[in-house]
C-alpha cells in the first residue's frame, strides 16, 4: 500500500467552502487503477489546515495517476478557481509506503 498526504492552509473563514468543494469532488481519482481510498482531514485545532489523503495499492499506481490526463484536468481546474487566494494555495505533499496495518 502507498499513501499520499497533501496538506494546505486556507483562511479559517474559507475552510467550509473548501470542504464543500471536496465533498462535491469529481471522483476521477476513484477510477484510477490501484486507487483504494480518499479522505479529507481537518486539523482539530486549526480549521484552515486541511489534508487530502489518498491511498493506493502501489506506488506505481499513484505515479500513473499523477501522470494521467485526469490528474492534469483536475489540477488545471483548481488553478482556474474564481477565488484567487484559494487557487494560489500550494500543498505540502508527503508520500509514504505503508509498512503495517
Which domains are present in the chain?
2-97 (3.30.70.100)
The pLDDT of residue 79 is 64
Q: What is the pTM of this model?
A: 0.88
Q: What is each CA distance from 53 to 9, 22, 78, 84, in whole angstroms?
A: 15, 12, 17, 24
The pLDDT of residue 80 is 65
* Per-residue pLDDT tens listing for the chain (101 residues): 999 999 999 999 999 999 998 998 889 999 999 999 999 999 999 999 999 999 999 999 999 999 999 999 887 766 666 676 776 778 999 999 999 98
Amino acid at each position: 500500500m502507498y499513501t499520499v498526504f497533501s496538506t494546505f492552509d486556507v483562511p479559517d473563514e474559507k475552510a467550509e467552502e473548501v470542504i464543500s468543494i471536496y465533498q462535491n469532488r469529481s471522483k476521477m481519482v476513484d477510477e484510477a487503477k490501484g486507487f483504494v481510498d480518499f479522505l479529507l482531514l481537518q486539523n482539530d485545532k486549526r480549521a484552515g489546515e486541511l489534508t487530502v489523503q489518498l491511498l493506493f495499492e502501489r506506488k506505481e499506481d499513484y505515479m500513473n495517476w499523477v501522470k494521467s490526463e485526469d490528474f492534469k484536468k483536475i489540477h488545471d481546474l483548481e488553478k482556474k478557481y474564481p477565488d484567487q487566494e484559494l487557487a494560489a494555495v500550494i500543498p505540502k505533499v508527503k508520500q509514504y509506503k505503508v509498512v503495517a496495518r
